[in-house]
Amino acid sequence: MGGPGFGYHRPVAGRKGFDLHQLGLVAQALQRSELLVAGFYRIPMLPCRQYPYEVVTLADLGPDERASGALAHLVVYERQRRQGSEHLYRVCLQDDVILRRVVGEQDDWLTALLVYVLTHELVHVVRFQRAEQSYAASRRSRRREEDEVHRITLELLEQARDPRWERLHELYGNPVVPAHLVQG
């Protein structure tokens, strides 16, 4: 299980989602993010059975999977298997929020932002699945988890030595989205 859950794109009232070209960029960014995270944690190439996740875009989000202002939202579901229950991590991209961040920019900026967002969420998946952090942690622990995942994500992107990601870090640093952009 894993990989992108995007294909047919149905419009969501009042919210602008990714077009077909942008969905292709999401797929490319996901592939890059999977390589970065698998290499960092020295785990089998993602997606793999040990780390069950899927990536969905606005067109496939349920009401509880929407998060206004966030670039993405990780939802953890429990599903039953023959061998018992397991977690399924669902990376819920917030297309409209992401697209607002890249208005007037080239595709490479959208790709860089997507790589950051997807890498960040996949780091969470690995950490939660390995029980390095609990998904149901206290608010204070979650803040520390976000800071740690942000640090790891930036380290991974820095190691990749892509100038677009350097620009992303330069512009957004920590936290990744400056307050003046959140209000847009």
- Cα(75)–Cα(65) distance, integer angstroms: 7
pTM to 2 decimals? Answer: 0.81
Cα–Cα distance measured from residue 160 to residue 175, given in angstroms and rounded to the nearest whole number: 20
Angle at 2 between CA 97 and CA 138, to 5 degrees: 60
- Write down the pLDDT at residue 135: 61
CA distance to 85, 120, 127, 136, 146, per residue, from 38 (Å): 24, 13, 12, 24, 19
- Give, for all 184 residues of the chain, the pLDDT tens digit: 344 444 444 444 556 899 999 999 999 999 999 999 999 999 988 778 888 999 999 999 999 899 888 899 899 998 877 887 888 899 999 999 999 988 888 888 899 899 999 999 999 999 988 876 666 655 667 778 888 888 898 889 888 877 777 677 666 655 444 333 333 3
Identity of residue 115:
V
Which residue do the tokens 């070209």 mark? 21
